[in-house]
Amino acid sequence: MDNTDFSLFGAQISATYGVSALLWRFLMNFLVTGIIIRLFYYAKSKRRDYFFTFVLISLTVFLLIYLLDSVKLQIGMALGLFAIFGIIRYRTESIPIREMTYLFVVIGISVINGLSNTDNMDVLVVTNILFILVIWLMESSRFLKHTSCKLVTYDKIDLIKPEKEKELLADLEERTGLKIQKVEVGHIDFLKDIAFVKIYYSPLYQEENTIDEIRRAKEYTE
């Protein structure tokens, strides 16, 4: 086997190209993607299905990219992976924007860690740290205030008039128990005396509500 020497923050590290190098990059990739998935994504969404998906996709992409022999084939495969997941839709439900974003991040990090052939590992380590820092900033409520929304089928259509906005807000807050920031009125059905309104509010807990936009009973099981 060939010996591969690389530096990590000034320290020269010698590794046999193969198992040792594979394990080193695998552990770094697994640690970084694990932090992102467990501490940032799962902490808010609590979706074990996507947690499972992200971890296995990261593992598969990393090993697939790393074990390819041709650099040109690696690059083509990396671009192909992004193209495939850019148009993917599950048969039961479409992937939400947040989940799709984390999917791209996981794939991107795995491709970088598996494809990078630099001898200076400092660059690769710093790149992974930058991913973690940026995601932490975007997910932190200290920098970005999260606002949730719900779709409501409203029955008091006499309150949807612009001049009765305060009464509408007061009624919705009393009936939902939420501190509503804004209300948007959509479709109005005068035959059934109902209107579709979207309410925006600040959530009490920093968690994602996956059923905020469900309006039909069958969508709960899809």
**pLDDT (tens digit, 9 = 90+) per residue, 190-200?**
888 889 998 88
* Paired sense of beta strands 3-8 and 180-189, if any: unpaired
Please say if the pLDDT value at position 34 is more than 90: yes
The span from the CA of 159 to the CA of 147, in Å, is 24
| Helical (H) or strand (E) element with 23 | helix 19-35
Please say if the pLDDT value at position 15 is more than 80: no
Is residue 20 packed enough to be buried (19+ CB in 10 Å), middle (13-18) or exposed (0-12)? middle
The span from the CA of 18 to the CA of 26, in Å, is 12
- Spatial contact of 99 and 50, defined as CB atoms under 8 Å apart: yes
Q: How confident is the model at residue 82 (pLDDT cuts 50, 70, 90)?
A: low
The span from the CA of 13 to the CA of 125, in Å, is 14
Domain ranges of the chain: 3-139, 148-220
What is residue 122's predicted lDDT score, i.e. its pLDDT? 81
